[in-house]
Structure 1
Amino acid sequence: MKKFICLKNIIISFILANSNFSFAQKEMPKTKAIFISEEIIIDGVDNEKVWGYSSKSEKFWQYRPSDSLPAEMQTEFKFLYNEKSLFLFVKAYSKNKDYVVPSLERDFEGYGTDFFTFTFDTFSDATNGFFFGTNPLGIKRESLLSNGASDYRRDSNSSWDTKWEVETKIYEDHYTAEIQIPFSSLNFPENKKIWRFNLYRYNTQNSEFTTWAKVPRNQMIVSLAFMGEIEFEKPLGKSRTPFYLIPYLNAITSNDFEEKIKKNKAIIGGDAKISISNGLNLDLTFNPDFSQVEVDDEIINLTRFEVSLPEKRQFFVQNSDLFSNYGNSRDARPFFSRRIGVAKDINGNTIENKIIAGARLSGKIDENWRIGILNMLTEEDIKNEIPSNNNTVFAIQRKVFSRSNISLLMINRESMKSYSFLANTEKYNRLLGIDYNLASKNNEWTGRLYIHKSFTPNFGNDNMSSGIRVERNKTKSTISAGAGYVGSDFKSDLGYIRRTDIFKSRASYQYRIYPENEKIRYYGFRQGVYLTHKPDSDFLLSDRTYLTEFTMDFNNLSDLEIQTFSRMTYLFKPFDPTGSDSENPLPAGRSYKYTEIEFNYSSDLRKPFSFDIGTSLGQFYNGNIYSVESEFELKFQPFVSTGLELSFDKVILPKPYPTSSLWLLNPWIDVTFSKNTSWNTLIQFNSQSETLGINTRFRWRFAPLSDLFIVYNDNYIAENPFIPRLRSLNLKLTYWLNLN
């Protein structure tokens, strides 16, 4: 124990030292925003006289294929602003006007399409930011960025929507975009004169990523560690988000064939968004309707663990990192917002647990402090032995050094009264935790150190979870290491805890070679080792994985990956890896060693037809496995995209253990009639869960952030013949009212 404490102190000292020892961004480009009193007509043309007063910025740099050369196709931009809005005009040069724009749908996927994106760090903390993007047809996308945007998929939330306007024009050798962002759509400190800013662009004609502020090619192009500055001509006033009232109506007709229940109902509720200060907002919700017009993706699960799916509910989106970015997202995430509003019925099935009301206060107090308070009250369901619960999360975060922070988290889930069906251990569950997040100034060093403790009545004292992760990312190499512990009595009812009684350790090293080659961006070689021990079983090794990986990343956005996995798994409980609930699961009390090789190839996404195909084969526990996972897409730009996601797993185990062929088939079609109307259809067939689902959805954005959805769902039990399960049709109307 003393050795562990000593080691922990050494690690803490090392992390703190590295937070203070970092290299500054070598080049910090600057631009100016000129104040005007006039309004600007957003039409994609800078023909207003006031645009002539602005300061033009240019000289973009390559990020890909190189990161040290001037852009082959340059981009220009300039800023103006008045009391209400910020205006941006962009001119993007190209060889001709043949652009790739697959869809007119908002929040488009940027990879493989012509677009540019710009980011604002309004508090200059290099940690949180606002992300906006558009393309030659003026389609919008926006996200909230957190954790310095070190990993775009993990650190961005595209479910966030806000009000802004953009119009574009296409010419022979360039396109232009004129943009208006109301200051009410952003949070920023009062009397601020400087924001951090960057703009990056992808040109499909020469497959070139370019940036205004230079970004090293081993870092994410959207990283908030590498930005320039906007200097406003005079200080900005107060950041005040308007008072929004967001009522909704959801009319539903449904037929539950299993329970033989038909329902017709109308649900009315609403949200409110109230500005408290420059960076602090209060969100209220009453009788919220969190039924998803966009369904969750079906998956085939061959693991022993529960799968976590992403949060898509708008109420939980803004500042979500302040509540959820704690612990280890894979093994011990103390708060997982999807736990609120769902529960288990008496048969162990997951069902909706109605939310009565909720409130969230979150945002910036000043440039160094962030705070978040979330409270949600759920309804009791006596029939299914579900109590009414009060769910509270409190988080506070303090920036330290250049980009690191320390965060404190408190969680409380408590039943509102006593219930005869409620065990003593289920009356409440609480958690207290502290996390230190490391991010050096140039993002070369990143990491986390955390310790959490849960409190549950009569549930044991081994209720701690802790961990450490450190990574160093240089141009040609990345090295990372980490360890984590989850006690056997650690519990978070509002979190995602994959399993308890584990001590995990890992280390990996990747080396990259950047050849002078027009087609290949880099070769990558990676080795990794991942170990899991069971402390309560004399530290028995329960899982081991050795990873060897080779990658080729091509300049046309395609890539090739070859991986080998050498695994060992010790089963403490009987397990059926086919997920078929066989009467002959693999026996517990023994270890299984197996090796697998995997090939993946992604094609050039700029083409009308693109695909991502992967296949693996090898041993699987005491048998063998063959898998194929593919996605095909055909684009008739910009109105129609259609495709198929396919997954197949053939698991062959020796008798008397089960053998199965598992299929996942997801054909889909997206039709965008205009920027504001779309129709999406998804069919999902999962042989493992024996389900077939059809979801078709029409969307009309009839006013800013206001939508009409018409959604038809049809679900079947996938037996022979197919048996209807649940059918529904709903009309959902949401309208944003600005009461200022």
Structure 2
Amino acid sequence: PYGVAKTRNGNSIDGQNEQEVGFDVKYSVTPSLTLDVTYNTDFAQVEVDEFQANLDRFSLFLPEQRPFFLENSGQFSIGVSREAQLFFSRRIGIASDGSQVPIKAGVRLSGKVGAATNIGLLQMQADAVPGIAPQTDYSVARLSQEFANRSSLGFLLVSKEENGSLDGGPDHYNRTFAVDGQLGLGDDGLVSGFVAKTETPGLRSDDTAFRISAAADTEDWSYSGSVMQVGENFNPEVGFLRRTDFTSFDLFALRRWRDPSWKSLLELRPHIYYKGWWGGDDLYETGFLHIDNHWEWKSGFEVHTGMNLLHEGVREDFELAPGQIVHAGEYDDQEVQLVLMTDDSQPLSLKVTAKIGGFFGGDRTQLTPSIQYRVGETFNATLDWAYNDIQRPGNPETLKINVGSLRATYSFSPRVSLQALVQYNDATDTVASNIRLAWLTSADAGFYLVYNETRDDDVGMFTEKRREWIVKFSHSFDVFD
């Protein structure tokens, strides 16, 4: 069971206080099959989302971070990560604007039945939030049977049922059906794919998607290729689609090359990768050709030297940033890419990625340094930065965007830790802090103190916009002990 108390200030909120209680139950049906039950689910101790800058016209992907959904998440996974996922758990309990939707209750059964049958059943209910979301029931059923030589066959059902609607219309529903499988070929080859269909009121025909891919890995070579098609009305509302109504095609080949005569150089990995997307109207939406070589030394130092050939087909004007309009048309650009990495097993390590070249008919310089510092098991910190300098024709002003974060963890003991995440985005003039103190009594229970703060720079100085304190205590015990 748990209890949590919250207090919020700022952003038109004056001293709002909340208190909640709930519980989680975990029961081992068999050593390999687990039943989880949750009531009034709370994720107060979960780290906030990382800031991102969207420099394209397609959806950003924010990964799942809530422990309940991360546990055994692979059981429910079908699709391509960050591009086309048929089930995406962030659709449950998080609105499209990022605000939290209370989860009333849920139950999950996941694991293995026998030696080769994987099962996943999930039922969740999210409460209604006036003006944001009606009460919604989510159901997911997943079954996969393993066969010899890495082969498998499975199916997935995802259902969303809304009880009521925000506009007073009829109840809404959405369903996704999918079959997936993979076939191992010899020791090195693998063919995999899925076929899926959705049901949505008002959307008929062209509501299917499929993907087929093949890959082979040997000691010296890696190859892969795939084809995917998503229909115009394919609508997995409890999934994730970065773009809709497209056909994509990709090819990849990599050579691993080692020579005992090399004194300090460990391995060369020349490779080439291409991926293209075409819209349902046959517009060549995006093309990406990447030619690269990875140089890895025995010291752990790496250099990646590559170039990218880019194509963008823009159907209609879109705003890259306030006052920065990308007009409809075809854009072909090139950029060089350099990556430097030091040995990340050392206390201090560095990774820098630089891209210089064309961008929607203009020019872009992109730098993404990352510095990591670690002191044994006691302290670690990571500073990440993303800098973009964009100059586009017809826009006299250079667009400069900085997005940075500092993440640090200090462990007082194996059970007591202090974590902090401070983020900055100058595109939105925002600084956000997330500080979490955890004093655990078991692996997933204990005392949590969380402080969240957001500050804006709209008036020339960083003024507080929102502040939140959260105190949570949870305790776990064995009911059969």
> What TM-score do the two structures reach when normalised by structure 2?
0.94
Question: C-alpha separation between the residues in 1 aligned to 2:47 and 2:165?
Answer: 35
Match of 1:365?
113
Superimposed CA distance per residue, residues 652-697 of structure 1 (whole angstroms, 9 cap, x where no aligned partner): 1122476311112223432222222111222110112322011222
Residue 567 in 1 paired to residue 319 in 2?
no
Superimposed CA distance per residue, residues 499-555 of structure 1 (whole angstroms, 9 cap, x where no aligned partner): 1110001111111111213432210111122121123x1x23222121101101222
Residue 286 in 1 paired to residue 33 in 2?
no
Superimposed CA distance per residue, residues 243-275 of structure 1 (whole angstroms, 9 cap, x where no aligned partner): xxxx111121211x2223321222110110122
Identify the structure with the greater helix proportion. 1
Match of 1:522?
267
CA contact (8 A) 2:133 2:166 kept: no
Question: C-alpha separation between the residues in 2 aligned to 1:327 and 1:704?
Answer: 31
Counterpart amino acid of 1:282?
L
Identify the structure with the greater strand proportion. 2
Which has the larger Rg?
Answer: 1
Residue 429 in 1 paired to residue 174 in 2?
yes
Closer/same/farther in 2, CA of residues 681 and 400 from structure 1, 3 Å limit: same
Unaligned runs of at least 5 residues, structure 1: 1-246
Closer/same/farther in 2, CA of residues 258 and 420 from structure 1, 3 Å limit: closer
Counterpart amino acid of 1:585?
I
CA contact (8 A) 1:327 1:435 kept: no
Counterpart amino acid of 2:349?
S
Match of 1:611?
350
Matching residue within 438, 446, 463 for 1:707: 446
Closer/same/farther in 2, CA of residues 496 and 351 from structure 1, 3 Å limit: same
Closer/same/farther in 2, CA of residues 457 and 705 from structure 1, 3 Å limit: closer
Moved more, 310-319 or 595-604: 310-319
Match of 2:155?
408
Superimposed CA distance per residue, residues 452-493 of structure 1 (whole angstroms, 9 cap, x where no aligned partner): 000011113110010111110111111111010000000011
- 3-state SS of the aligned residue for 1:309? coil
Residue 251 in 1 paired to residue 5 in 2?
yes
Question: C-alpha separation between the residues in 2 aligned to 1:420 and 1:643?
Answer: 43
Match of 2:463?
723
Sequence identity percentage: 24
Unaligned runs of at least 5 residues, structure 2: none
Residue 267 in 1 paired to residue 20 in 2?
yes
Question: C-alpha separation between the residues in 2 aligned to 1:678 and 1:518?
Answer: 43
Match of 1:551?
294
Counterpart amino acid of 2:258?
Y
Counterpart amino acid of 1:722?
F
Match of 1:389?
136
Mapping of residues 582-593 of structure 1, within 5 Å = 582=323, 585-588=325-328, 590-593=329-332
Question: C-alpha separation between the residues in 1 aligned to 2:189 and 2:175?
Answer: 33
Matching residue within 425, 450, 462 for 1:686: 425
Residue 633 in 1 paired to residue 372 in 2?
yes
Mapping of residues 225-624 of structure 1, within 5 Å = 247-255=1-9, 257-323=10-76, 325-344=77-96, 349-382=97-130, 384-416=131-163, 418-419=164-165, 421=167, 427-439=172-184, 442=187, 444-516=188-260, 517-535=262-280, 537=281, 539-577=282-320, 580-582=321-323, 585-588=325-328, 590-624=329-363
- 3-state SS of the aligned residue for 2:238? coil
Superimposed CA distance per residue, residues 90-128 of structure 1 (whole angstroms, 9 cap, x where no aligned partner): xxxxxxxxxxxxxxxxxxxxxxxxxxxxxxxxxxxxxxx
CA contact (8 A) 2:206 2:234 kept: yes
TM-fit CA distance, 1:317: 2.6
Superimposed CA distance per residue, residues 372-421 of structure 1 (whole angstroms, 9 cap, x where no aligned partner): 11111111123x152111110111111122222111001110112x4361
CA contact (8 A) 2:45 2:436 kept: no
Closer/same/farther in 2, CA of residues 677 and 587 from structure 1, 3 Å limit: same
Match of 1:98?
none
Question: C-alpha separation between the residues in 1 aligned to 2:228 and 2:235?
Answer: 15
Alpha-carbon RMSD across the aligned residues, in angstroms, is: 1.9
Mapping of residues 3-152 of structure 1, within 5 Å = none
TM-fit CA distance, 1:339: 0.7
Closer/same/farther in 2, CA of residues 703 and 276 from structure 1, 3 Å limit: closer
Question: C-alpha separation between the residues in 1 aligned to 2:411 and 2:429?
Answer: 32
CA contact (8 A) 1:372 1:394 kept: yes
Question: C-alpha separation between the residues in 2 aligned to 1:343 and 1:635?
Answer: 36
